Structure 1
Amino acid sequence: MHRSLYNWTMALSARKSAEIWLAVIAFVESSIFLIPADVLFLPMALARPERAWRYAIVATIFSVLGGIAGWWIGSFAFEAVAVPILEFWGKLDTFNALKDGITYETILLMLVTSGFAHLPPIKVVTILSGAVHVNLWLFAVSALVTRGARFLLLAWLLRRYGEDIRHFIEKRLGKLAMIGAGVVIAAYVIYKLMLH
């Protein structure tokens, strides 16, 4: 099912309404959808590099708005909406494991790691932020910075290197981002251990 969703999302980039679809996918990715907006963003930015920055801004804004929707689901409709969504995508166990002992620091850390490396998936973090009642303004600003940094970095890479960088982005950038996220998480764990 994931492969067919991936292919369907990628096919949207060829439509005249691709920019609208980018906004929709960026929005729903942050609250309920499994496929990242990058799948649509990359071919769109390569096809029209002069619009890469614009696409990055659209993806960022709608990703943050979708994150706020995820926060709202977690805060006000957890049992009715969040649990079925998380169960459907097989993320409820991940969510429950993350919820235990959560703090503002760990939410900010997860916003950074999910914003850059999809670790954990952004929808898990947005719903979790609402469920534990993280301050909405803090959440929105953090999401804006991390999601914006990701899309703007992708836009810059695509504008500078074009098609040549696509393989690197699709195959290796995610792994590098995960390594970076792992380093950030390890640094945080070491920091917490040193405090105790």
Structure 2
Amino acid sequence: MEVFKPLYLKALHWSRHRHAPALLTGLSFIEAIFFPVPPEMMLAPMSLAQPKRAMWFATLSLAGSMVGMFIGYALGYYAVEMAMPLVESLGYADQFESIKQQAAENGFWLLLIAGFTPIPFKIFTIASGAVGMPLLPFFFGALIGRGKRVYLVAGAIRLGGARAEAALHRYIEPIGWFALALLVAVVAWLFLRGQGA
């Protein structure tokens, strides 16, 4: 079953729009709150089309995500019960308590990891707000975690050109599932480590 490829193809279509930079910023913003399409799926073809602007596109994506993540945090902090239908609709209701616990205990590190997964970033921002994670580690964890991800994509496309974008297109499914499995393994390890402490 293909999950990531259809979303990637839709983002490819958006990347050709004349207002693509604004769309990328907006996509990054809403992805951090409720939208399921990772902005890197739009960032990659935009970086391929204009390699000299790749890092600028990554900066726009990061800026949109940073604003969106604070709204996600506020949802968790002030209205977690209102946010739960979203968490449930995305299929993370069972894991949400564990993610909240990890956000309370290892929030900074959890956000560093979350920045590299196809799991919607909003799950982590809502969970961080729900446990009242201090804003400074929340900000820097998300900034570094998400920043590494978008700049890595933009840099890879700028250096690798069409071959890198073609590889991303060809292997988006296994990459997405591998990143998902990696996140589950790390969260499980952090949880088990916390239980043994």
TM-score, L = length of structure 1? 0.82
Spell out the pairing of 1:1-196 with structure 2 (5 A cutoff).
7-80=9-82, 82-99=83-100, 101-118=101-118, 120-170=119-169, 171=171, 173-174=175-176, 177=179, 181=183, 188=190, 196=197
User: 2:11, 2:154 → 1: CA distance?
Assistant: 19
Residue 144 (structure 1) shift: 0.6
Alpha carbons 1:24, 1:62 under 8 Å: kept: yes
| 1:154 CA drift (Å) | 1.0
Q: 1:59 to 1:188 in 2, by over 3 A?
A: same
Structure 1 gap ranges (5+):
none
C-alpha separation in 1, matches of 2:87 and 2:189? 29
Offset, 1:90: 2.7
Give the conservation status (yes or no) of the 8 Å contact 2:104–2:131.
no
Q: Distance in 2 between matches of 1:54 and 1:145?
A: 17
Residue 147 of structure 2 aligns to a residue whose secondary structure is: helix
Q: Is the 8 A contact 1:113 1:181 kept in 2?
A: yes
Report how far residue 186 of structure 1 moved: 7.5
- The offset of 1:51, in angstroms, is 0.8
Closer, same or farther: CA 166–105 of 1 in aligned 2, 3 Å: farther
Unaligned runs of 5+ in 2: none
| Equivalent residues, number | 191
Q: Is the 8 A contact 1:56 1:151 kept in 2?
A: yes
- Once superposed, what is the RMSD of the aligned Cα atoms? 2.7
List per-residue Cα deviations over 1:90-113 (Å, max 9, x = no partner): 3323323433x4454432232122
Change (3 A) 1:86 1:11: same
TM-score w.r.t. structure 2 length?
A: 0.82
Task: State how far apart, in whole Å, the 2-side matches of 1:162 and 1:135 are.
Answer: 40
Aligned-pair CA distance for 1:84: 2.4
Q: 1:106 to 1:176 in 2, by over 3 A?
A: same
* Aligned-residue identity in percent: 30
Q: In 2, Cα distance between the equivalents of 1:175 and 1:5?
A: 14
